[in-house]
Structure 1
Amino acid sequence: MVSSPDPSRPATPADHREIDALLRAAFPGADEAELVHQLREGGEMLSEVVTPWHGRIVGYYALSRMRAPDGWACLAPVAVLPAYQNGAQGVHLGSQLMHDLVTSIRSSSSAIDTVVVLGDPPFYARAGFSLERAARLSSPYPIDHTLILRPGNDRPQAELIYPDAFG
């Protein structure tokens, strides 16, 4: 019988060391781990969410405050320990993380009305992010890998200014 991870929960300062290890295992190099440190230190982090399983953190995502447009957030990074990626252990943990995020954003009364992500379009589109709705945005990053999640069906025209940590 396949077990399932524990419910995702907000990260705590006690999780930071394990989050750092997860990011260093999930990505080549230390860029994502350093990004998270800088977002925390710069006060740009809105929320961090972890998914525990068998007593360890196996999934993670962070939302940071975009400098512009106002009220928008940036999703980065999203990470799953390699041993739990691509349906390993019988669960698609990355998809579950994105489902948890989308559910949280849509049911929340937070000031966040739009989430931007730079990444693999098919993966994020399955979670409800839209490449087409982001087509009129201007960004320092490739627009063909920029997706948004927001209510409605408009195609906003705006300049994306990421948190300083992305610089």
Structure 2
Amino acid sequence: MVVGPDTLNEVKEEHFDEVEAVLLTAFPTDAEARLVRQLRADGDMLFEFRKSWDGKIGGYYALSRMQAPEGWACLAPMAVRPEWQGGKLAENNPNMEVGGTEDQLYRGPWRFGTRMLQELAQCYEMPTEAIDGKLPETIVVLGKPSFYGRYGFSLQRAQKLSSPYPLEYTLILRRGDDVPVAELIYPQAFPGGSG
């Protein structure tokens, strides 16, 4: 029995409208929805993933191809249906006693963003031969270090990068413990992000 959101699945064309609806409700403007449409149109989208529950997409993230360094990707956007953010889905589950022992045990598994990032980070912990050629060498994310840092993304390892965005919000996920030196050039769809 699955506790919390279902497994992570790839987004297909039949999911595009529902993904757009999630993006439009999860953010204050339509900028992220426009970004996703432009990444698809430009051919820069590597992968799109969705996490569902009860037949609805509850969480989404995109990995797009960085212009440089080659083989790197950018995690953006990432969205969770607002009414299910922060484990609220667990609170609204009639099978869960909120405030009880079950709530303490299972609330975490109902957090869409947490589960998506945990699953992504676990891929980079697998033996190299198991994922060789299936994942980008490095994934870059712009966001809160206190959040993304819990899931394998490193602020410290990104500090020798040059970027059009602030390094205090730039984190990377990759194998090893090196501190790469590289210039980040984002896909053209990112505002002010391409070189």
Q: TM-score range by the shorter chain?
A: over 0.9
Alignment equivalent of 1:99, drawn from 118, 129, 136: 118
Paired AA for residue 136 in structure 1: K
Q: TM-score, normalised by structure 2?
A: 0.82
1:137 aligned onto 2:164? no
Paired AA for residue 4 in structure 2: S
What is the CA deviation profile of residues 65-121 of structure 1, one whole-angstrom value per residue up to 9, with x for unaligned ones? 000001100000010011111121231211101012222354422261100000111
Paired AA for residue 84 in structure 2: Y
Q: CA offset at residue 57 of structure 1?
A: 0.5
Aligned to 1:66: 66
- Cα distance in structure 2, aligned partners of 1:138 and 1:79: 26
1:151 aligned onto 2:158? no
Instruction: Report the count of equivalent residues.
Output: 166
Matches within 5 A, 1:12-91: 12-90=12-90, 91=110
- Cα distance in structure 2, aligned partners of 1:106 and 1:31: 33
- Cα distance in structure 1, aligned partners of 2:162 and 2:88: 36
For structure 1, the residue ranges without an aligned partner over 5 or more in a row are none
Which protein has the larger Cα radius of gyration, Structure 1 or Structure 2? 2
For structure 2, the residue ranges without an aligned partner over 5 or more in a row are 91-109
- Cα distance in structure 1, aligned partners of 2:142 and 2:114: 16
Residue pair 2:124, 2:175 contacting (<8 A) in 1 also: no
Runs of 4+ in 1 over 6 A off after TM superposition: none
Q: CA offset at residue 137 of structure 1?
A: 0.7
Q: TM-score, normalised by structure 1?
A: 0.95
Residue pair 2:85, 2:112 contacting (<8 A) in 1 also: yes
Aligned to 2:144: 120
**Which piece of structure 1 moves more, 95-104 or 60-69?**
95-104
